[in-house]
Structure 1
Amino acid sequence: MMRGDLLGLKAYQPIIPPEVLSERAGVPIEGVIKLDGNENPYGCSPKVGRALAGYPFYHIYPDPEQRELRKALAGYVGVDAAHIVAGAGSDELIDLILRLFLEPGDGVINCVPTFGMYPFCTEICGGKVIDVPRDKSYAIDIAGIKEAVGEKNEKTKIIFIASPNNPTGNITPQRDILELVKLGKVVVIDEAYYEFSGTTVAPLVPEYENLIVLRSFSKWAGLAGLRIGYGIFPTLIAEQLLKIKQPYNINLAAQVALQESLADIEYLQGTVQKIISERERLFQRLGELKFLKPFPSQANFILCAVVKGNARLIYEGLQKKGIFLRYFDTPLLSNSLRISVGRPEHTDALIEALKEMC
């Protein structure tokens, strides 16, 4: 009865919650140094907690058309609200985009190594993942994408580009994005880490019928646990997404938190600047360790190649000390660690632990 193609689907590997990490490491939960999820170590705006505690209408269904939410987001982005659709995290919007465009067997360009939700959701939606490897500096391969699109022709529908890219941290220049837009396929630019780079193509969306930008409040605004993201779409696509999404997809707590976050931009920009400053310090400290090669990043994490030693052993050894990173060992990302930027004391603890181990 179940779909045969899904029975063999490999489950997505999500972030492990802190209580599980605490038990695994044998340290109190407050002693866990969680540098694996690219979360904001300073949390959300203080206004969010106060607003959530005092909100009186949780017994009422949220607005399925997201009117006030879209209006607030439009003011932040600088586009008309007709271009905005919010989702339960940008993950939901990735799934909705794929469901809107894909027929069984249609192709989706995936510029590996990159965010794992693109191929995961593509397979669930019955699409075909077409991997186009990035170059040695992790820049996208424009010629390779054009070749892949040309080979598949009309069966290739969507191109996903994360900028800054997760897990490598580099951006894709606007000129390259516009070169892809010329191919006539749907080009989705995932700007989940935009606030840490300041580089965006969102203002260009109204000029094109096939350019989409996705963003998140999980990283910069500290709302990962409430699951809210949004996209900037051509109006025709936005209209269709509003039609096919679950009617009440954004819960009221998430809506209140987003609106309060946008009302406290100065505070949140302050925490973003702290993270950017600590990112530069972390990059410098990691570069002093001869067994690591950190890559420059415009996100809130740093990818490191382990050039001497075994990344898995380092990863597991740090876990025993209550420090948790992300480990990668794939053909295009071998013997590597991704380190989220934490507070200064987290950086200090990590560097000391690495020195002790290696």
Structure 2
Amino acid sequence: MILREDLPQKSTMPISEIKYKAKLDQNESPIDIPIEVKERLFEEFKKIEFNRYPQPYFYYETKEIFSSYLGVNPKNFLITVGADQGIWLAFFLAGGKNRSAIIYEPTYPIFKHAGMITQTNLEILNLGVNYKISPDTFKNHNIICIVNPNNPTGNLQDDEVILEAIRRNALVVIDEAYFPFSNKTYKQLINDYKNVYIIRSLSKSLLAGIRIGIVISDSEIVSMGEEVLTSPYHLSTLQLVILRNFHLIESYYQNSIKIVNEEKERIYKVFDGLKIEYVKSYANFILFKVKEANFVYNELIKRGIRIRNVSYMRGLESYLRITIGKPYENELFISAIKEIFSML
């Protein structure tokens, strides 16, 4: 056989492509950049030679410029193609044959996917909907994976759990993709610990279609990561131009976060009124429990409302997840969920 027999045989992240009135299933930003801002960015794109590769000086200049927004020294972060590439890189750097990682499910499936493809020995513990990690599970792993806030549960780990993980002789991968909504970070620990590896994303709060991620870590890890990815050739010049001109985008980025947090509170109140059980979320989505998850999901689909059915995940058998959308999309969901619950 030409291909490896241990490769996954089905999609790691199944996504519906059914036509919709409200798209609330992929944890994207509810708003886009206005056309006039895109036009200003296009003016910058016109200055680029599309026939040339991105040059190292352009990459390092971009890091200098973006460092002020990130609040991190340029030597302590690298730019990736979305947060996913940051996850893959962690396994390239510290995983592989005869090395091990611990993953806590239910969580973002790319961690397990990257571990399997790199042939890393995986210990997978299922924590269910409560998703509370115990330091007793930290053993002699080479990688400890912590998604904080976790997807799809939306909750945070206690500080002491994170600190106990960092005290181990392992690369501690802390996925902070939802930092804009939680405002919780451990980036300050890179000054005291060399094994902290933080992943960020610009996808959740505005730029999912552009695919930009960040890895924050010790300078030696960052330097090695850039070597492994052959920086800057893993990126497009277009991605770098976006970051160089983040000042054109920042206010919309902040407004997106504000809308999500306000709309999340509105949906909480609806759930409370309907006595729907949910997990308090520090992200841009809410995990909620229903009696007949598949029935509710299918009824929403009939009404053109796409949310995520996570009831197939072990420990989440009765749960669905809604991404916070535009106010009118959330209103469509609210009206539909009230109607569907009257049918149960």
Normalising by structure 1, what TM-score?
0.88
CA drift at 1:103: 3.0
Matched, 1:253 2:234: no
User: 1: distance between equivalents of 2:245 and 2:162?
Assistant: 32
Change (3 A) 1:180 1:124: same
The answer for the alignment partner of 1:63 in structure 2 is 55
The answer for the alignment partner of 2:289 in structure 1 is 305
Change (3 A) 1:9 1:246: farther
Aligned pairs for 1:54-203 within 5 A: 54=43, 55-56=45-46, 57-59=48-50, 60-64=52-56, 66-134=59-127, 137-143=130-136, 145-146=137-138, 149=139, 153=140, 156-203=141-188
Matched, 1:34 2:23: yes
CA drift at 1:253: 2.0
The answer for the alignment partner of 2:339 in structure 1 is 356
Matched, 1:277 2:259: no
User: 2: distance between equivalents of 1:272 and 1:280?
Assistant: 13
The answer for the alignment partner of 1:11 in structure 2 is 11
User: 2: distance between equivalents of 1:286 and 1:260?
Assistant: 40
CA drift at 1:167: 0.6
CA drift at 1:110: 0.6
Change (3 A) 1:75 1:102: same
Aligned with 2:105: secondary structure?
A: coil
Q: Deviations over 1:272-320 (max 9, x none)?
A: 1121111111111122223x311101110000011x2x11111111111
CA drift at 1:9: 4.6
CA drift at 1:208: 0.8
Report if the CA contact (8 A) 2:201-2:213 is conserved. yes
Q: Please tell me the residue identity of whatever aligns with 1:141.
A: S
Q: Deviations over 1:161-197 (max 9, x none)?
A: 1111111111123322111101111101111010111
CA drift at 1:351: 1.4
Report if the CA contact (8 A) 2:77-2:217 is conserved. yes
Unaligned regions of 5+ residues in structure 1, if any?
23-30
User: 2: distance between equivalents of 1:231 and 1:263?
Assistant: 23
Report if the CA contact (8 A) 2:101-2:121 is conserved. yes
CA drift at 1:256: 1.9
Unaligned regions of 5+ residues in structure 2, if any?
none
CA drift at 1:340: 0.3
What is the count of residue pairs matched by the alignment? 334
User: 1: distance between equivalents of 2:37 and 2:234?
Assistant: 20
Q: Please tell me the residue identity of whatever aligns with 1:241.
A: G
User: 2: distance between equivalents of 1:61 and 1:273?
Assistant: 37
Report if the CA contact (8 A) 2:144-2:173 is conserved. yes
- Farther off after superposition, 67-76 or 78-87: 67-76
TM superposition outliers: structure 1 runs of 4+ over 4 Å? 45-48
Report if the CA contact (8 A) 1:84-1:231 is conserved. yes
The answer for the alignment partner of 2:32 in structure 1 is 43
CA drift at 1:259: 3.0
Report if the CA contact (8 A) 1:12-1:116 is conserved. yes
Aligned with 1:199: secondary structure?
A: coil
Report if the CA contact (8 A) 1:193-1:219 is conserved. yes
- Farther off after superposition, 264-273 or 210-219: 264-273
Change (3 A) 1:262 1:158: farther
Change (3 A) 1:313 1:136: closer
- Farther off after superposition, 196-205 or 68-77: 68-77
The answer for the alignment partner of 1:286 in structure 2 is 271
Q: CA RMSD in A?
A: 1.9
Report if the CA contact (8 A) 1:261-1:268 is conserved. no
CA drift at 1:324: 0.3
Q: Please tell me the residue identity of whatever aligns with 1:4.
A: E
Normalising by structure 2, what TM-score?
0.91
Q: Deviations over 1:216-255 (max 9, x none)?
A: 01011x1111111011011111111111104422212222
User: 2: distance between equivalents of 1:177 and 1:188?
Assistant: 10
- Farther off after superposition, 188-197 or 245-254: 245-254
CA drift at 1:263: 4.5
The answer for the alignment partner of 1:21 in structure 2 is 18
Aligned with 1:99: secondary structure?
A: helix
Aligned with 2:126: secondary structure?
A: coil
Report if the CA contact (8 A) 2:278-2:286 is conserved. yes
Aligned with 2:297: secondary structure?
A: helix
User: 2: distance between equivalents of 1:70 and 1:14?
Assistant: 34
Matched, 1:230 2:202: no
User: 2: distance between equivalents of 1:354 and 1:112?
Assistant: 28
